[in-house]
Amino acid sequence: MLKQQLNFKLSQKLSPQQIQLMKLIQLPTQAFEQRISQEMEENPALEGGKDELNEYEDEFSDSYEDDYDDDGTEVIETEINVDDYLSDDEVPSYKLSSNNYSADDEDKQIPYASGKSFTQHLMQQLNTYRFDDEEREIAKFLVGSVDESGYIRREVLDIVDDLAFTQNVYTTEEKVEKTLKVVQGLDPAGVAARSLQECLLIQLKRKEETASVALATSILDEAFDQFTKKHYKKLLQKFDISEDELRDAIHEIEVLNPKPGGSYSGNTRAVEHVIPDFTIKIRDGELELTLNGRNAPELHVSRDYTNMLKGYKESKEKSKKQKDAVMFIKQKLDAAKWFIEAIKQRQQTLFVTMSSIMNYQKDYFLTGDERKIKPMILKDIADEIDMDVSTVSRVANSKYVDTPYGTFLIKEFFSESMKNDQGEDVSTREIKKILEITVQEEDKMKPLTDDKLAKVLKDKGYPIARRTIAKYREQLDIPVARLRKEI
């Protein structure tokens, strides 16, 4: 049995323009510039730079309607007001709004490092050694197996198998081990080690033989596990040495490089530059916020498209092809106008949001003291500027601000709140800073355990559980008390 019924429902749908705006807001400065370049390539009606003409020869405010098909059944409206798409100002109006661009409007190119790769550096050193054909193939394969840190993180047996399958070189573990010793003699010292212990031992063997170096070698070779866990009392007993002798041996180990490849490969890797989207400066005791000028491009609608419309209006006979061309022009003009408007709204949203964050954290931005950062969540800013939480999130998650104290990701200024012993809301960021300072000031001979850290913070007015201390300590990348111990 068939049945018909009506259902009423309300639903919200984002328009293409709203979706475009949300995507633009989320982009940081460099990605935003790439998005503008892409749009200009796809839409010939959009052009960059200043519009050289100050006055228009004609203004189109007429509307005209023509039959689309010969039988007159379909009508096309091509009402186009050029004033809606073009401005007769040389500078777009949104560039003139208050303090939303800085002086760095010029295009700045980022230089990239160039040079030999880490692998190439090692390969060139192999040319100074005498190898037979098989050994050279093994040596090249070993060098190719070295990662960016300078380690070979594979078992010798696996390397033997791979040589057979990929290089058609059938060899033995003994020959690979022998060739590996040669590769481990390359620079930087410690390269091609299979473990941290082996890496440090290789470096010690290249040092001048002294009592401290000999003791350090014995410690790494015979008591590496006790050394890494800082069981100093066991080391004193095992080697029957004094604290001064142990301290000198530990110093010899501490100056070694645990990642021999890092210092070389890091220099030739393309550096990722952070381009601040905002700049906060202090002038006469007041905060001044500026938006990076690269977020305020000069765009206008192509003059050629205006001339096309003029030619269509003046033509007496309007063919079907001309009508199709006018519809295409109108679509491109609309797209260009929407894009320019979206850029304007993006700038306003960014500036309003960052202004609110700056004023909310005014005490911090004036002093640089992280202990003065207030508890702040996305909803606090969203309510203040009357925008959605998702909009604030898009700004905070991908934008950087340059301050007198460094360049930071905006979301770092957001933190949850906790109550101190006086019932006041304090930022978890403030508590982490106090915890960090407490650890820095502790006696390294007797570092504070998590229980003792919790007691110290409680005495300072922050009643926090031990497990919370452990969580904050891990977030700050602070090791446990035993591993902070020094002799």
Q: pLDDT by residue (tens digit) across 46-56?
A: 777 665 543 33
Least confident of 59-73, 176-190, 269-283: 59-73
- Whether 314 and 396 share a structural domain: yes
Query: Are 336 and 86 a contacting pair, CB within 8 Å?
Result: no
Residue 57, pLDDT > 50, answer no
Give the pLDDT confidence score for residue 317 in this predicted structure: 64
If asked whether residues 308 and 287 sit together in one domain, one would say yes
> Both 218 and 351 in a single domain?
no
Instruction: Give residue 74's pLDDT.
Output: 38
Instruction: Specify whether 128 is located in the same domain as 186.
Output: yes
Q: Looking at the structure, tell me whether residues 322 and 395 fall in a common domain.
A: yes
Does 11 reside within a domain? no
In a domain, 82, yes or no: yes
Task: Examine the fold and report which residue of 414, 437, 454 is the final residue of a domain before the chain moves on.
Answer: 414
Half-sphere exposure of 114 (CA within 13 A, CB side): 3
Q: Do 373 and 413 meet the contact criterion of CB atoms below 8 Å apart? A: yes
Pair 341, 442 in one domain: no
Domain count, the chain: 3
**Do residues 228 and 250 touch, judged by C-beta distance below 8 A?**
no
**What single-letter amino acid sits at 256?**
L
DSSP strand E in 30-92: where?
46-48, 65-67, 75-77
Rounded distance, CA 349 to CA 342, Å? 10
Residues 57 and 167 in one domain: no
- For residue 86, pLDDT beyond 60: no
User: Out of 102-106, 238-242, 321-325, which region has the weakest mean confidence (pLDDT)?
Assistant: 102-106
Q: Domain check: are 255 and 352 in the same one?
A: no
Domain that holds residue 208: 118-266
Is there a domain that residue 8 lies in?
Answer: no
Task: Compute the mean pLDDT over every residue in the chain, rounded to the nearest whole number.
Answer: 79
pLDDT reported for residue 109: 54
**327 located within any domain:** yes
The verdict on 162 and 199 lying in the same domain is yes
Q: Is residue 225 part of a domain?
A: yes
One-letter amino acid at 7 equals N
Question: Residues 298, 310: one domain?
Answer: yes
pLDDT digits (tens, 9 = 90+) for 405-446: 989 999 888 887 777 777 676 778 788 888 988 988 888 888
CATH number at residue 469: 1.10.10.60
CA distances 346 to 41, 198, 313, 378, Å, are 21, 55, 35, 18
Residue position matching structure tokens 């003029």? 310
Calculate mean pLDDT across residues 223-247. 90
Mean pLDDT of 292-317: 72
- Answer yes or no: is 201 within a domain: yes
Mark which of 203, 237, 266 sits at the end of a domain. 266
Answer whether residue 6 is part of any domain: no
200 and 155, same structural domain? yes
Q: Specify the pLDDT at position 76.
A: 41
Exposure string over 327-347, b if 16+ CB within 10 A, otherwise e: eebbebbebbbebbebbbbbb
- pLDDT reported for residue 29: 81
Higher pLDDT, 331 or 116: 331
pLDDT at 110 over 70: no
Q: Same structural domain for residues 283 and 404?
A: yes
Tokens of 55: 């006055």
Spatial distance between the Cα atoms of 468 and 328, rounded to a whole number of angstroms = 62
Domain boundary among 266, 295, 326: 266
Question: What is the pLDDT at residue 115?
Answer: 60
> Per the domain annotation, does 2 fall within a domain?
no
pLDDT attached to residue 309: 67
- pLDDT tier at 288, thresholds 50, 70, 90: very high
What's the token pair of residue 17? 């323009």
Percentage of the chain exceeding pLDDT 90:
21
